[in-house]
Structure 1
Amino acid sequence: MASITFITGGARSGKSSFAQRLAEAQSGKPVYLATARIWDEDFAQRVKRHQDDRDQRWQTVEEEKNLSKHDFGGQTVLLDCITLWLTNYFHDCGYQLEEALEAAKAEWTQFAEQEMNLIVVSNELGMGVHPENEMARKFADLQGWMNQFVAAQADTVYLMVSGIPVKIK
């Protein structure tokens, strides 16, 4: 079973930077597990910024959904991020909340069985403005339920607040 550190917080709260520092402190050759699909040019620029933050020590693995197909045994892995990974499930499941949650939980369970040091970044959507449309509300629910699922399995949980990690578990 993976040793899991879960890092959550709002947009631009410092989640990824903190997670990278943790991974680099724990391994000389950490793995960056990127889950993003490139939806538009703005998003491509965000991905580029994250790539530029990492140096030659990092190995990058890009995987939109099927995390468990990769063997990370014995490695330190930074999964960035659960939110983008869930977006892929939500989209591919036709925006069906229950179907996406079931599929994501099943994949996560299989993935987390690996013996690895896993650092997970996720967004805390439930602390912001109430989503204005049904699809956005469904996704916020999906994100909240998945965050609870992962955090319950985590050995350590941090909430990032204005660049400051607050240990909550």
Structure 2
Amino acid sequence: MIHLITGGQRCGKSEYAEQLTLEQSNKPIYLATSRVWDDGHRARIEAHKARRGEQWENIEEEKALDSHDFTGRMVLLDCITLWLTNIFFDNGEQDDKSLEEAKAILDQILSQDCDWIIVSNEVGLGGHPGNEVAMRFNDLQGRINQYIAKKADRVSLVISGIPLEIKSPNKKESF
């Protein structure tokens, strides 16, 4: 099972993902992808950690998600946007190279026999980026979200703390 949860910044998607994960497993994995970019970001990471209880097995992995075996586990991956940022900047801001690397890693991990709840951001909902690099990253993020959504069994969009089901096994898609 793959469930993609997306939405804007601070919309409540991580809290919703954590709740769903704990409803499905009493010992899930929290796969955190963030790098510490500055003191403000460090504070956000610490707030996320403080919210999690002891039932979580925490793995911090900036890029090499495919270096772990999650067979038989319930995994919350939080979040695709920060992970993709790491890939993008480590690749010298090369869009196509970053997209291919991200797809290859996703194909590897999503083929494992486990269940996924994946958090991502809809960065394109926020306004027009102020520079060319940010615009290219927005496009890259949109493409990877579409890639994951096509593979996902369920997709939810969280707005102001309220999850809306976009795709589910019971809902006919109209693409």
Spell out the pairing of 1:154-165 with structure 2 (5 A cutoff): 154-165=152-163
The equivalent position to 1:42 in structure 2, one of 40, 43, 52, is 40
- Distance of 2:51 and 2:150 partners within structure 1: 30
Deviation at 1:40, TM superposition (A): 1.0
AA aligned to 2:165 is: K
Aligned residues: 167
What are the ranges of 5 or more consecutive residues in structure 2 without an aligned counterpart?
168-175
Cα deviation digits, residues 107-137 of structure 1 (max 9, x gap): 1111111011100000001111111100000
Asked whether 1:87 is paired with 2:85, we answer: yes
Q: What pairs with 1:137-156 in structure 2 (closer than 5 Å)?
A: 137-156=135-154
2:27 aligned to which of 23, 26, 29: 29
- Cross-structure match for 2:108: 110
Q: CA RMSD of the aligned region, Å?
A: 0.5
Cα deviation per residue 1:63-82 (whole Å; 9 max; x = unaligned)? 11111110110111000000
Distance 2:35 2:114 in 1: 24
Alignment partners' CA distance in 2, 1:11 and 1:128: 9
Q: Which amino acid aligns with 2:81?
A: T
TM-score (norm 1): 0.98
Q: Indicate which of 68, 71, 74 corresponds to 1:73.
A: 71
Query: Following TM superposition, by how much is the alpha carbon of 1:39 offset from its aligned partner in structure 2, in angstroms?
Result: 1.1
Residue 99 of structure 1 aligns with which residue? Answer: 97
> Structure 1 CA distance, aligned partners of 2:107 and 2:129?
29
Structure 1 residue runs without a partner (length 5+): none
Letter of the 1:32 partner, please give it.
Y
Distance between the aligned counterparts of 2:99 and 2:162, measured in 1?
30
Percent sequence identity over aligned pairs: 53
What TM-score results when the alignment is normalised by the length of structure 2? 0.94
Q: Distance in 1 between matches of 2:11 and 2:74?
A: 23
Moved over 6 A (4+): none
Q: Deviations over 1:31-70 (max 9, x none)?
A: 1000011111111100000001100100100111111110
Distance 2:73 2:5 in 1: 18
* Match of residue 173 from structure 2: none
In 2, Cα distance between the equivalents of 1:132 and 1:39? 19
Q: What is the distance in 2 between the residues matched to 1:99 and 1:48? A: 31
> What pairs with 1:113-128 in structure 2 (closer than 5 Å)?
113-128=111-126
